[in-house]
Amino acid sequence: SSVRDRRILPMLFDVSVKRVSVGAVPQDLSSIAWAVATSRTRDPSVHALLAKVSAEATRKVDEFVPQDIAMCAWAYAKVAARDAELL
């Protein structure tokens, strides 16, 4: 990861939780999930953010294109997160 101070990512994830539902489209949601997974951060903030992404994705699932679905599926698998309703 290119972020040198590992304390910054949990703070960014906490802020992101509050912003996800403000106009996020499926591509935003899948990109956020991908970014979280590739950050390799193992912190409670990761699961809080992915839970918020899941909630929004569930509401907008009809708007997702295959690439958005694939990115989300990969990201959740990468961090071993599960959302029974989204599955």
- pLDDT tens-digit profile of 46-56? 888 999 999 99
> What gap in Å lies between CA 16 and CA 19, rounded to an integer?
5
Report the mean per-residue pLDDT for the chain.
85
Confidence band of 86 (pLDDT split at 50, 70, 90): low
pLDDT, one tens digit per residue, over 22-51 is 878 999 999 999 988 998 887 888 888 999
Q: Which amino acid belongs to residue 26?
A: P
Are 25 and 68 a contacting pair, CB within 8 Å? no
Residue, of 12 and 6, whose pLDDT is higher: 12
Cα(31)–Cα(85) distance, integer angstroms: 20
Residue 6 pLDDT greater than 80, yes or no: no
Q: Which two tokens stand for residue 76?
A: 């959740």
- pTM, two decimals, is 0.82
